[in-house]
């Protein structure tokens, strides 16, 4: 009977380990008295991963070094909302000193779990529309951070410079992402002023992408724009498999999409955003500032990322007056 009970207990411990490991975790521990910082992100994605690396480096620049005087608990929900809820609950139960929330959905879940633990965000387009703060200059909540605000007017102007005769543009984004919705609203508003017709193609899973892309091509769009959208980014090659065949270029707001066949676009540097967020977190850990009083920051410089091989494949020539910062 004793052996059987021990076997059940061991099995339960193994299962618990599997459940925790399923979230995707990593990190190094310092002493038990060192501040514990949680990192939560919804999925693996080059831009989000770059933000996390920048955050850790930014903290180190300010003297908070992982494994030495701080413990960082990195958690990835691997695209599962239930995992994200569990991660947030654990950070609260562990009484983490601060949480770095990467992407809108991660910040929303975390903010719903605690009003006390400081939350520093990154890769979030509009903190106010996401109901994370009261005001961009004075958040008034336990949330602050950096925005991946993208100059959507410049994106429209870029499309028109490269394709001056275009009249029909498609946009592809996840209908569930508040971040994406805000970007598309701004994109459509400016495009309308320029006399462009914008057709939306929304997805709820990566399985929708090819059908949505084909529908847009069938409706006669001559170019497609993709905002900073985690779901689309995770399956960009599925989109360009359709658009390349139709010779329809895909303009992007995230340079990580170039490797999946994106053509070009003005983008932010997600690593540098992470560094900025790390410095903001350091100010909080130093006791110098509180998140409710810290304005949302943005990146000063945008870069124009260009996929030269895609230009050649689609037979597109970039006008000489378009500044080039090719990747």
Q: What is the pLDDT of residues 164-200, one digit of tens each?
A: 999 999 999 999 888 899 899 999 999 999 999 999 9
Contact 63, 282 (CB under 8 A): yes
| 58/284 Cα distance (integer angstroms) | 13
pLDDT of residue 16: 39
DSSP helix/strand/coil, 111: helix
Burial class (CB in 10 A: 0-12, 13-18, 19+), 205: exposed
Rounded Cα distance, 201 and 222, in Å: 14
Dist CA 72 CA 100 (whole Å): 10
Report how far residue 71's alpha carbon sits from residue 322's, in angstroms, rounded to the nearest whole number. Answer: 45
Residues in the chain: 327
The Cα 199–Cα 168 span in angstroms is 8
pLDDT value at residue 30:
59
pLDDT, averaged in runs of 10, over the chain (327 residues): 43 38 56 86 89 97 96 94 96 97 95 98 93 97 94 94 96 90 94 97 94 98 94 92 97 92 93 96 97 93 90 94 62
Helix pair 209-218, 236-245: axis angle to 10 deg: 30
Task: Estimate to the nearest angstrom the gap between the alpha carbon of 140 and the chain centroid.
Answer: 23
Does residue 315 sit in helix, strand or coil?
Answer: coil
| Predicted pLDDT at 321 | 82
| Cα–Cα nearest to 125, from 143, 99, 151 | 151
pLDDT at 313: 96
d(CA 173, CA 2): 56
pLDDT reported for residue 156? 97
CA distance 193 to 210: 30
Q: What is the pLDDT of residue 18?
A: 36
Cα–Cα dist 9/104, whole Å: 39
Q: Which domains does the chain have, with CATH numbers?
A: 22-149+270-295 (3.40.50.2300), 152-267+303-314 (3.40.50.2300)
Prediction pTM value:
0.77
Q: Using CA atoms, how far apart are residues 273 and 182, in angstroms rounded to an integer? A: 19
Residue 270 and residue 293: Cα distance in Å, rounded? 24
Give the pLDDT of residue 323.
66
C-alpha span between 66 and 281 (Å, rounded): 14
Closest C-alpha to 103, from 83, 80, 128, 130: 130
For residue 305, report the phi and psi dihedrals to the nearest 5 degrees. Answer: -100, 130
Phi, psi for residue 172 in degrees, rounded to 5: -125, 130
Helix, strand, coil share (%) of the chain residues, nearest 5 = 45, 20, 35
Cβ-proximal residues to 168 (8 Å cutoff; 6+ apart), any chain: 196, 197, 199, 219, 220, 221, 222
């Amino acid at each position: 009977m004793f052996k059987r009970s021990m076997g059940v207990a061991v099995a339960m411990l193994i299962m618990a380990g599997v459940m925790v490991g399923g979230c995707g975790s990593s990190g190094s521990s310092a002493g038990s008295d060192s501040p514990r910082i949680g990192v939560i992100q919804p999925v693996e994605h080059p831009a989000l991963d770059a933000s996390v690396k920048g955050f850790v480096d930014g903290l180190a620049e300010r003297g908070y070094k992982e494994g030495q005087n701080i413990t960082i608990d990195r958690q990835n929900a691997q695209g599962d909302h239930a995992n994200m809820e569990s991660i947030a609950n654990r950070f609260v139960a562990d009484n983490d000193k601060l949480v770095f929330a990467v992407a809108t959905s991660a910040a929303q879940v975390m903010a719903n779990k605690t009003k006390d633990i400081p939350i520093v965000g990154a890769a979030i387009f509009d903190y106010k529309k996401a109901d994370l703060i009261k005001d961009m200059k004075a958040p008034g909540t336990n949330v602050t951070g950096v925005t991946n605000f993208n100059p959507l007017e410049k994106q429209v102007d870029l499309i028109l410079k490269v394709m001056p005769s275009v009249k029909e543009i498609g946009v592809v984004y996840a209908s569930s992402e508040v971040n994406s919705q805000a970007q598309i609203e701004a994109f459509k508003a400016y495009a309308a002023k320029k006399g462009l017709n914008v057709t939306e193609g929304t997805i709820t899973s990566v399985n929708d992408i090819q059908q949505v892309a084909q529908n847009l091509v069938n409706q006669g769009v001559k170019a497609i724009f993709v905002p900073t959208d985690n779901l689309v980014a995770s399956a960009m090659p599925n989109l360009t498999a359709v658009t390349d065949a139709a010779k329809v270029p895909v303009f992007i707001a995230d340079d990580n999409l170039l490797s999946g066949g994106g053509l070009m676009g003005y983008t932010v540097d997600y690593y540098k955003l992470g560094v900025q967020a790390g410095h903001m977190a350091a100010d909080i850990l130093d006791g110098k500032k509180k998140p409710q009083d810290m304005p949302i920051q943005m990146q000063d410089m945008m870069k124009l990322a260009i996929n030269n091989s895609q230009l050649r494949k689609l037979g597109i020539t970039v006008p000489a007056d378009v500044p080039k910062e090719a990747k």
